[in-house]
Chains A and B, each alone.
Chain A
Amino acid sequence: MARIESPAALEEYRQKLIEAQRKYTTTITICGGTGCRAHNCTAIHEETRRVLEKTGLSETVELRFTGCHGFCEMGPLMIIKPQGIFYTHLKPEDVEDIVEKTVVEGKIIPELTYKDPVAGISYHYEQEVPFYNKQVRLLLGMNENIDPCSIDDYIAQGGYSALAKALFTMEPEEIISEVEKAKLRGRGGAGFPTAEKWKAARRAISRDGIKYVLCNADEGDPGAYMDRSLLEGNPHAVLEGMTIGAYAIGACEGYVYVRHEYPLAVINLYTALDQARELGLLGKNILGSGFDFDVHVSIGGGAFVCGESTALMASIEGRIGEPRVKHIHTAVRGLYDRPTNLNNVETWANVPIIINRGAEEYAKLGTERSKGTKIFSLVGKIRNTGLVEVPMGITLREIIYDIGGGIPDGRKFKAVQTGGPSGGCIPEELLDTPVDFDSLYDVGSMMGSGGMIVMDENTCMVDIARYFVDFLCGESCGKCVPCREGLKQMLYILEDITEGRGTMEQLDILQELAEVMRDTSLCGLGQTAANPVLSTLRYFGDEYREHIQEGRCRAGVCKPLITFSIEPEKCTGCMRCRKSCPVGAISGKKKEAHVIDPEKCEKCGICLEVCEYQAVVRK
């Protein structure tokens, strides 16, 4: 492939690609995202290719294997365009049928379409499905039109036009002011205004002229996979954003820091880098503009703390990934002591959109102080697990009930956790809180990088706090005292409470410890580590008190606090429970009431499940 030497040549190249795609009357898109891969979508892709070749349709039907479409719960997914016919839960056996009936004859196969489990309505087209129609898929929407290993797909969709516009029609300052007007805020957690960081890095003086831009793809939050899906599904959008940012700041080198647990993201990234270099969209003299910039990939070990800016830079330099004090900002002295700008994957992916659409158009989306969209990974006790991209300002309720389909199995909602391990748990009364940086902070949580875990009434909030503190005990780097020792003592106290040894004084100690950790820890991990404890104390204090004063766990999660017993009036003496108990804790004669020996009972709850007469009770 020849290098593209000017914006005009890029346009010409794009027109040729669009022309070449005209021969296709239909496009079959198969989701190759993380969730669908777990359900063997690769076999479906293979099978579709085979069937198309066998039937001689390959010339008119385009087959595309793409990044994540978001509706992971329903995977493997297929969309047939231009109509947008949407098939779910596919098996390789379905493919012949689809090609024959839908592709050739244009008929919809009702059994494969999406059926809303609550309303019972079937939807034939992607755009009608409730999961999608409240979303604004500014970034993720591109995933389904692009094969991540094909730069041509990206260019055909308008890719790299923002870069051409930035390099040839805008001064660096203009780019920064456009980002400023768009009020773009960092998607990596804190929501820091991106333009402010860029300005500081642009202003900073480097002793040898070298400055860096970095992309944070460490994504250590349990259950989160937004950044992964962007990098896997549309790596060029991130690279284009970084190149525009580098030009605005005056950087000549970039790094993408990605965890080794994301092998597909790494492979797609390397492929994208090679392709971009080959076309002259990266490297020396980009698009003939005279601007040089290249990107390296740095693969991290996957420690949560390595997502912190100074730890990340230490890790790229090959040192232990632990934070250091930032009294001198990394914009002035960062990677290899040079001025450095770090942004999150999603932040970078927003940049080409802002440049293309213009700040004014972009800023129409969202709230006054939080613009654009945010991607969340919606997980936990929720019907529609998946990746959702919503406009800022949408309420939690809309995300959970309208997009997420609510809580399954007729259970009651209890809390939603946002912001990852350092976020907070938000109760039902606050479900109408708008999702933006400031409102989430005000209710004691934070946007974080986009984890959203829904919990139902069977979740114990003290146990949840214990879980996150336990996670952080292993993920803290262990350098500073309040975080390392504070987390450990916090865990001990929470263990005491969940195991029935807690005291009311410990609640005050927890509160005091939490405040000191927030005030005195060295880095953001320790400063926010107490959030799950603080927010559950604030909204679910009753549950803590019940554990301590009444020895009761209302969710029935904390084993030392629950007992199983059999109500003699209801027991028919059917002996089912007695036969099922793995530890032989149940005794009783046939047709007589049975009893559970509390000494032997392991509290596994099997008896409760097998009893057909609801005679077993958990208290």
Chain B
Amino acid sequence: MVRLVIDGQSVEAEESWTILEAARYYGIEIPTLCYMEGLSPYSACRLCIVEIIRGGRSRLSASCSYPVQEGIEVRTNSERVRRARKVIIELLLASCPNSRTLQCLASKYGVTRIRFRAEDRGCILCGLCVRMCKEQMQAGAIGFADRGTGREVAMPFHTRSEVCRECGACLYVCPVCELPCPGPLQPGQLCNSCLDTVQLEAFPSRE
């Protein structure tokens, strides 16, 4: 067992756990997008970042792959985490403005405007579909192509892959290919209807 502090609580965790697993075990909520139980952690969306204080030094890191360590202190909701998380949600929304999942995250974490240029790309490149297809469906029909801002999920050489069985698992796990948020929205607009019902700032972490 490893002892660590999460949001002021002293907790014990299995050595094999990640910080995210430990936090969830103790009922502490950390938002995630590219993480899914049963798939290998990928740590690309960076939504699950937490502040880790170790040996007097503090840094932000993705909790979905960070192994618990003896004596570290974790803050899941510090000012630094909240600010970074908001910018990440804002960036994600700019690339998929109509995603309901992202709209809900925005309301929940207090993102009230998008200061960036919105362009609907229909994919946040979280890689859930790629890992689902490979690790659970044992097919490996889709993967990433290209790099940088041109990166996309594709079948090899953009032709229909023979190993795809059309099982639909990729669609099932995708956080953005869903019915758009039903509000009367223009692309790039924020719904924020439920903003007032959840007030995260009202529960600051015990620092």
Contact = CB atoms under 8 A, between A and B. Distances in A.
A479 B94 CA distance: 17
Interface string B161-174: 00000000000000
A484 interface: yes
Interface in A312-326: 320, 322, 324-325
Majority DSSP secondary structure for residues of A touching B: helix
Contacts of A481: 44-47, 88, 91-92, 124-125
Contacts, number: 102
Given A492-B116, A519-B80, A485 B44 contact: no
Which among A324, A472, A505 has the greatest number of chain B C-beta atoms within 10 A? A324
Contact of A479 (B67, B91, B125): B125
Contacts of A480: 43-46
Interface residues of A, number: 35
A325 B65 CA distance: 7
Given A481-B124, A484-B125, A485-B92, A522 B148 contact: no
Given A328-B67, A519-B60, A478 B116 contact: no
Contacts of B88: 481-482, 516, 520
B115 interface: yes
A488 interface: yes
A512 B44 contact: no
Which among A488, A505, A521 has the greatest number of chain B C-beta atoms within 10 A? A488
A516 B84 contact: yes
B149 A478 contact: yes
A331 to B, nearest CB: 16
Given A325-B43, A489-B91, A489-B94, A516 B67 contact: no
11 contacts: A325-B41, A325-B43, A480-B46, A481-B124, A481-B125, A484-B151, A489-B117, A509-B115, A519-B60, A520-B46, A520-B84
Interface string B106-128: 00000000011100000011010
B60 A520 contact: yes
Which among A473, A479, A492 has the greatest number of chain B C-beta atoms within 10 A? A479
A522 B45 CA distance: 9
Report the contact-size class of chain B (Cβ under 8 Å from the partner).
35 or more
B147 A476 contact: yes
A521 B88 CA distance: 10
Interface in A457-511: 472-482, 484-489, 492, 505, 509
B146 A478 contact: yes
Interface string B146-162: 11111100000000000
A99 B91 CA distance: 67
A519 B81 CA distance: 10
B87 A327 contact: no
Interface in B51-93: 59-62, 65-67, 80, 83-84, 87-88, 91-92
